[in-house]
Amino acid sequence: MAIRIVGVDLPQNKRGEIVNFDMIKSFGVFGTYSKKLRSWQQRYKDYSLEYNRFEIRSRILLTLVSTAVSMAAFGSFSSMIRR
């Protein structure tokens, strides 16, 4: 759920930062906005890594389950043919 929230919020934030980038540089407050943008990037990176970790684990689990189901199905099917 948090991944969706960051994915929705970050592009809106980036659009606003890009539009106001020249104005921010001209007023000399670039350091403050740079820190804010870096924190958003770090937060997005953390959520992306968390999601990737979840995706890898779920794919491994699904592969193991499908292999077990295939072995069970073909194992029982081959025993029916041998009878």
3-state secondary structure of 30: helix
N-term to C-term CA, the chain: 52
The stretch 22-29 carries a mean pLDDT of 63
- pLDDT exceeds cutoff 60 at 39: yes
Q: Which two tokens stand for residue 12?
A: 């809106």
H/E run at residue 66: helix 30-82
Phi-psi region of 30 (alpha: psi -120 to 50; beta: other; left: phi over 0): alpha
The pLDDT tens digits for 46-80 are 999 999 999 999 999 999 999 989 888 887 655 65
Q: Is the pTM of this model over 0.75?
A: no
- pLDDT exceeds cutoff 80 at 4: no
